């Protein structure tokens, strides 16, 4: 249901559903055969998808480069470079067996917006950048949002030493992706460089669909802490080791999984939004006939409150000291993998997105994001906002994830309208939310 055309007609005419669809289809085809949709960062398939995308950016009239953080950036020059850059984008990597639209919609829609603006023949005042951030999903190196962390100066150099299961350092992987890890000691962009950042994403939940709302305007992005918990016992023969003599690490780990779930339920009920998940586990020796000697878990905690995030681990470890270490004769080691803070979107950007949706005749609602996003890191650099479109049955991070092209196009329209609104009203020094 596109609304009034009026003064926006010139770019709306250029926003092309067929091109948006073609790019979504082509990008999603870069997947591990038989495992839709799997395009893990740092793999050859991911590199091939990025080569394709870089070429599409060039065909759209953008100049392209890969920055030191391994981010692929397409640039449409503005009339007034001093006004700063309006940037938009997301990521094209997926979780294993993930969805078709998580990430790529935001990249493809940003490219469509930039191309429509370029083809409208009216050069924007601000330079517009389309960004495909490197490795947003938790990577095999234990770090997520690698590119947006690097860009915003939130990739401490010790994270570059993290290794994947084959022993490759994250820093080397970033170099393979075209980056320059030796340049990642501080933010890659100065605060004055960027006038604003917008990210379009699928909602990944059910709120928009269940309320029949076309556009979600994000007010806050959840904070996320991830920890690795290693439970160590003793590997033994499963047939010859009596039950009372075992130090089974997986049994201890399973108690921890249950406790994480119970503690999160209690806290959520009494304290407000907090979710906690053990979504990854590996066991050694990992054999049907061996008592597990080691179990490695990844614990992830999310909340919109820094205090709730900070308060989760200690009670869990206090409980584990007695229930797992003492009673089951196991050891536990914990390592913090990463932490992002709950992040508010910039109010003037929230207002611009809501106004853009209304001007185009779309229903919208303000809502928090329970998913993490590159936008949370970009908010360190410049006024940042996000918009959501509905996804079928709220499914995401699974192959069933689906959206309608109508919703995809609606999102691209609001994104483009908002970029133009910011372009028209946000010269340097008077950028909304920027002091």
Residue 265's SS3 state is helix
Residue 246's SS3 state is coil
First and final C-alpha spacing in the chain: 37
Strand partners for 343: 221
> Which partner in ligand HGY, Mn ion, none is near 93 (CB below 5 to 8 A by kind)?
none
For residue 193 the two structure tokens come to: 């460089």
If one asks whether residue 300 binds Mn ion (CB under 5 A), the answer comes out as no
If one asks whether residue 136 binds ligand HGY (CB under 6 A), the answer comes out as yes
For residue 389 the two structure tokens come to: 């479109």
Provide the 10 A C-beta neighbour count for residue 262: 12
Separation between Cα atoms, residue 191 and residue 171, nearest integer Å: 24
> Which partner in Mn ion, ligand HGY, none is near 67 (CB below 5 to 8 A by kind)?
none
> Minimal distance in Å, beta carbon 98 to Mn ion?
7
Interaction residues for Mn ion, span 92-111 (CB under 5 A): 102-103
Nearer of residues 215 and 375 to ligand HGY, judged by Cβ: 375
Q: Where are the alpha helices (DSSP H) in 360-404?
A: 374-378
Separation between Cα atoms, residue 115 and residue 76, nearest integer Å: 9
Interaction residues for ligand HGY, span 197-256 (CB under 6 A): none
Q: Per-residue x/- mask for ligand HGY, residues 317 to 356, rule CB under 6 A?
A: ----------------------------------------
Task: Give long-range contacts, CB 8 A cutoff, 24+ apart: 184-187.
Answer: 184/68, 184/69, 184/150, 184/155, 184/157, 184/160, 185/157, 186/153, 187/151, 187/152, 187/153, 187/380, 187/381
> Minimal distance in Å, beta carbon 146 to Mn ion?
13
> Minimal distance in Å, beta carbon 340 to ligand HGY?
10
Nearer of residues 371 and 431 to ligand HGY, judged by Cβ: 371
If one asks whether residue 89 binds Mn ion (CB under 5 A), the answer comes out as no
Nearer of residues 91 and 259 to ligand HGY, judged by Cβ: 91
Q: Are strands 85-91 and 194-202 parallel, antiparallel or unpaired?
A: parallel
Distance of CA 331 to the CA centre of its chain: 33
Nearer of residues 137 and 423 to Mn ion, judged by Cβ: 137
Among 372, 383, 432, 433, binds ligand HGY (CB under 6 A): 372
> Minimal distance in Å, beta carbon 263 to ligand HGY?
20
Separation between Cα atoms, residue 371 and residue 367, nearest integer Å: 12
Write down the number of H helices and E strands in the chain.
14, 15
Nearer of residues 374 and 423 to ligand HGY, judged by Cβ: 374
Angle between helix 249-271 and helix 313-320 axes, rounded to 10 deg: 140
> Minimal distance in Å, beta carbon 397 to Mn ion?
6
> Which partner in Mn ion, ligand HGY, none is near 407 (CB below 5 to 8 A by kind)?
none
> Minimal distance in Å, beta carbon 216 to ligand HGY?
15
Q: Per-residue x/- mask for ligand HGY, residues 76 to 105, rule CB under 6 A?
A: --------------------------x---
> Minimal distance in Å, beta carbon 117 to ligand HGY?
28
If one asks whether residue 137 binds ligand HGY (CB under 6 A), the answer comes out as yes
Q: Are strands 364-369 and 215-221 parallel, antiparallel or unpaired?
A: parallel
Interface with Mn ion (CB under 5 A):
102-103
Interface with ligand HGY (CB under 6 A):
102, 136-137, 371-372
């Amino acid at each position: 249901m596109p609304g009034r055309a009026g003064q926006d007609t010139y770019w709306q005419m250029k926003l092309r559903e067929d091109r948006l669809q073609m790019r979504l289809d082509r990008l999603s085809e870069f997947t591990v055969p038989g495992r839709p949709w799997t395009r893990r960062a740092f793999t050859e398939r991911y590199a091939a998808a990025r080569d394709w995308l870089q070429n599409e950016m060039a065909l759209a009239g953008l100049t392209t480069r890969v920055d030191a953080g391994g981010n692929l950036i397409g640039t449409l020059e503005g009339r007034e470079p001093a006004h700063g850059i309006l940037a938009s984008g997301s990521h094209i990597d997926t979780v294993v067996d993930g969805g078709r639209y998580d990430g790529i919609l935001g990249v493809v829609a940003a490219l469509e917006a930039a191309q429509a603006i370029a083809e409208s023949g009216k050069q924007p005042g601000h330079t517009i950048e389309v960004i495909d951030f490197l490795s947003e999903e938790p990577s095999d190196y234990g770090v997520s949002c690698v590119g947006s962390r690097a860009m915003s100066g939130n990739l401490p150099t010790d994270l570059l030493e993290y290794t994947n299961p084959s022993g490759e350092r994250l820093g080397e992987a970033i170099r393979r992706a075209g980056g320059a890890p030796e340049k990642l000691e501080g933010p890659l962009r100065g605060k004055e460089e960027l006038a604003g950042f917008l990210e379009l994403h699928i909602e990944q939940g059910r709120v928009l669909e269940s309320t029949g709302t076309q556009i979600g305007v994000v007010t806050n992005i959840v904070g996320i802490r991830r920890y690795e918990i290693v439970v160590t016992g003793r590997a033994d023969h499963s047939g010859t080791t009596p039950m009372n003599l075992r130090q089974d690490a997986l049994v201890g780990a399973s108690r921890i999984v249950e406790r994480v779930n119970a503690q999160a339920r209690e806290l959520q009920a009494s304290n407000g939004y907090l979710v906690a998940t053990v979504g990854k586990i590996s066991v050694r020796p990992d054999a049907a006939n061996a008592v597990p000697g080691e179990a490695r878990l990844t614990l992830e905690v999310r909340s919109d409150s820094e205090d709730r995030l900070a308060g989760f681990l200690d009670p869990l470890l206090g409980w584990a000291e007695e229930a797992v270490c003492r009673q089951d004769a196991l050891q536990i080691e914990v390592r913090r993998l990463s932490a992002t803070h709950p992040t508010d979107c910039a109010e003037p950007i929230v207002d611009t997105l809501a106004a853009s949706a209304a001007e185009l005749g779309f229903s919208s609602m303000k809502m928090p994001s329970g998913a993490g996003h590159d936008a949370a890191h970009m908010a360190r650099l410049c006024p940042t906002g996000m918009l959501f479109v509905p996804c079928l049955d709220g499914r995401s991070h699974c192959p069933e994830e689906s959206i309608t092209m109508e919703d995809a196009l609606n999102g691209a329209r609001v994104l483009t309208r908002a970029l133009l609104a910011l372009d028209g009203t946000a010269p340097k020094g008077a950028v909304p939310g920027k002091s």
